Every structure is written in C-alpha cells, then in structure tokens.
Amino acid sequence: MAEPLILDHPTALDDLEIASLAASFERRSPQDVLRWAIDRFGSRLALATSFQADGMALLDMAHRIDPGVRVLTVDSGRLRQETYDFIDQIREHYAIPIEVYSPQATDLEAFVGEHGPNPFYRSLELRVRCCEIRKVSPLTRALSGLDAWISGQRRDHTASRQGIRVVERDDLHGGIVKLNPLAAWTDEQVWAYLRAHDVPHNPLYDHGFTSIGCAPCTRPTAPGDDPRAGRWWWEQHTTKECGIHCRVDWSALRA
C-alpha cells in the first residue's frame, strides 16, 4: 500500500486556520474558494482532474480567474480513447499546458508480469493494488511539490465522501491543503454550470456513462442506477474508491 507522502516543508495553515476557513467557505461559491486559493498559494497550487464533469466545471471556473492556473492529471495507461481525445481537446480549447503523470514503469512491469494485464477482476486485493500503481502513486508524485490542490469531490458522490469539507488538510499527501470547492454541489448544479458556460464535456457521458475512469473498470449505467454503479461493477458491497481520496485497506474494504 502506498505510504503517505512526507514533505520537508509544512503547510502554511494550521488545523485551527483550516477549520475556520472550512466554516467560512461552506456557504460561499466555488469561485470564492478558488480566488482565495489562487491568491494564497499561486504556483504551488494545482487543479487535479480526470476531466469528468466536476473537474471541467472547476477547470473553467479557475481558468476564468487565472488562465495560468496549473492543471494536472493522471494517465493510468488504461483510459478510453474518448478520454485521451478529450484531454487533447481541452488542451487546445483553453490553450493551456496539462501536466500528465503516469505509473512508474518498473512497478507496472513487475505487477503485470506477476499478475497479468487484468488481475483486478480476480480479487479485491489485486484491484486495489492496481489502482495504487496506476493512479495513487502518480498523483502522490504530482502533489509532492505543492502546498495545496483542488479536487472535484462532492459529498453526494459516495457515502465515504459525505463528511468532506471545502477546505481540508490532506494527511495522505504530507499535510498539504486540499480544496473541495464543489463539496456541497449536486450533479444538477454541475451540469447547469457546464451548459450555462458552454463548457465541453467528455463524450462518454452521451453514451450512458455517469462516472468515467479506466476502460476495463467503468461502463455505462442504466437509468435509476447509482451514478457510480458503473465503477468496478463486478464487486459487490464494497466501497467504490481507488485510494486517491482516502486510504483503502483492501482487507477491510467490504461494507
């Protein structure tokens, strides 16, 4: 399991300040959160996104505030072609560089060599390990030089995210500040923003996807399904998390 990142420089905010900011921003707009963060952290702040609807709303908001805001993403190596094409579209649409982080080749080669290319279908332990190598570890490297990062998490995504705050300390990544500007938003609010501002969206949404990740691990959902039902659909009664936003102990993962 990936170890928490230990930085040689502490965050500039202590727990009391973070709690105060979380309370003060709870009823403020996501744009207010982003303006404050961009002003406070500058180039040591980045938006981490997989270019799903939530991330696109935040990217558009942040870009309107500061066109130079850093944008980073993780390429697991198993994304759908539509997503790769969409990333290129966004790079051109906003005329921005996108920092792309990939799995460490030696770790991936060892894992695939021992377990094959699709071991995640065989056991929960192997699925979580695959997520760690392909997603969690690259993000840890991406965040290693930052003081704060922006996430598209919302409280209505999963039960494990219901308690997130707008401003948090990210103990998984060296105690840096984690911002969840859309924490209180609903799916309807996100899509209303995208439509109102003519923000591009991944075309997979038009084909029944409600959560988009790696090609072998996400599929379209049916009307009325939980939005994350297409994630790791072969798993029953598990927490649908990869480990990016919370530590995942596979041996205790079953709900």
User: Where in the sequence numbering do the catalytic residues fall?
Assistant: 242
d(CA 177, CA 168): 6
Q: What angle do CA 245, 112, 78 make, to 5 degrees?
A: 55
186 φψ region: left (φ > 0), alpha (ψ -120 to 50), beta (else): beta
The 3 state secondary structure assigned to 169-189 is: EECCECCEEEECCCCCCCHHH
| Structure tokens given for 76 | 């697991």
User: What are the helix (H) ranges across the chain?
Assistant: 15-25, 30-41, 53-65, 81-94, 105-115, 124-131, 137-143, 187-196
CA separation (Å) from 56 to 51, 63, 189? 6, 10, 13
**CB atoms closer than 10 angstroms to residue 172:** 21
- First-to-final CA distance of the chain: 20
DSSP percent split of the chain into helix, strand, coil, nearest 5 = 45, 10, 45
d(CA 62, CA 108): 33
